[in-house]
Chain A
Amino acid sequence: MTMRAGMKGGLPVAAASLLLAISFGVLAQPVMGTVAPIVMSAVVFAGSAQFGALAVLAAGGGAGAAIGAGVLLNMRYLPMGIAIASSTRGGPLRRALAAQPMIDAGWAMASRAHGRYDLPYMWGVTTVCYPTWIAGTTLGVFAGDLIGDPDRLGLDALFPAFFLALLVGEARGGRLGIVVACLGSLLALALAPLTPPGVPVIAGCVAALAALIPARGRS
C-alpha cells in the first residue's frame, strides 16, 4: 500500500511542518486574531502563501494585495498540477479533488520515472502533514508569548535543507536532471530581485523544457 509508505515517508515533513506552522501561528495571532490563523491553515494549507498573505496584512495592506501575494506564491501548483494530471483517474471533479492534498515535498517524493506520479504516496505524505500543520498553528497562536520571535529559531533553513536532500536523493532524469536543477536555480535567482515573490519558482520550471533538446544533442 503506497499510501502507508507515504505516511511513513512524510513523518520528517510533518515534523518540519509542525515547527513552521508554530511560527506561522505566533506571527499571525497579533495580526489576524486567534481563530483566523487556524482556519487559514485548515482551508488554505499552503505555507508560503499563508506567510506571504500574512506579511501583506501585517504591513497594513488590503485584502486584494494579500490575496495577490498568496496567489503568486501558489502559482507553482499550476505546473505541479499539470505534472500529476496524467496520473489522475476518474471524472473531472474527482481528478481535481485528487490534486488537493498536493504539497511541495509530497509532490516531489511521489515523482516516479517517465513523468508518472504515485498519487497514493503523495496523499499519504499529506495525511500526516495536514494535522500537524493545523496543530502547529494552534500551538503558535496560543503559546506565542512563550515562544517569542520565531524568526530567530532559524526555521527558514529547514525546508531548503529538506528539499536539497530530496533533490540529491531523488533527482530524476540522470545527468540532465542535474543540469535542469542548476538551470532552474539560476533562473530563479536571476529573477528574484526583478519579480514579485512566487514568480522566480515559476521561472525555474522553464528549465524542465531542456527535456525537449534532442537526445543526441545532450550526450
Chain B
Amino acid sequence: MSTTWLTIGVLAVLTAATKGAGPLALGGRDLPTPFMRVIELLAPAILAALIVVGTFTNRDGEVVLDARAAGLAAAAGVLAVNRRSLLGAAVAPRSSPPASGP
C-alpha cells in the first residue's frame, strides 16, 4: 500500500515541477523570434506524435496495427468530409477574434 502512496506523492510533485519549469525559468518576457517560430510549430508536432503513439503503439511501446487504426481512419474520413464536424462546438467560439492582449 505504501508503494502506491509513494508513487502518487512523488509523481504529483514531479508532474507539477515538469509543468512549471518552463514558465519559471523563461516566463514573463518575450523570447527571441526564432524561438517563438519553433514554439508555434510545437503544437502540430506534439499532436501528431500523440496521435501515432496513441494509435499505433501498445502499452509496452511495441508498434501494432489494431482496431484503433480503423477508428482513426474513420475519424479521418469524417474530417475529410467536414473538417470541423468532430469538434463542432469546441471550435465555434474560437472563430471570434481573441481578446486584444498586451
Contact = CB atoms under 8 A, between A and B. Distances in A.
Interface of A: 1-2, 5, 8-13, 31-33, 36, 39-40, 43-46, 49, 51-53, 55, 57, 62-63, 66-67, 70-71, 74-86, 88-92, 95-100, 102, 104, 107-109, 111-116, 118, 121, 154, 156-157, 159-173, 176-178, 180-185, 187-189, 192-193, 195-197, 200-201, 203-212
Interface string B8-43: 111110111011111111111111001111111111
Contacts of A88: 23, 27-28
A89 B29 CA distance: 8
A85 B26 contact: yes
A163 B51 contact: yes
A36 B25 CA distance: 32
Contacts of B84: 169
Interface in B36-63: 36-57, 59-63
Contacts of B34: 211-212
Given A13-B90, A193-B62, A164 B42 contact: no
Contact of B44 (A13, A43, A167, A200): A167
Top 7 A-B pairs, shortest CB-CB distance:
A204-B49, A81-B22, A96-B20, A157-B71, A115-B36, A82-B22, A161-B75
15 contacts: A12-B88, A44-B8, A46-B15, A82-B21, A104-B50, A111-B43, A116-B101, A157-B71, A164-B51, A171-B43, A177-B44, A181-B48, A184-B48, A197-B60, A200-B53
Contact of B40 (A40, A108, A211): A211
A20 to B, nearest CB: 11
B63 A193 contact: yes
A92 B27 contact: yes
Instruction: Give the interface centre of B15, B87, B98 by most chain A CB atoms within 10 Å.
Output: B15
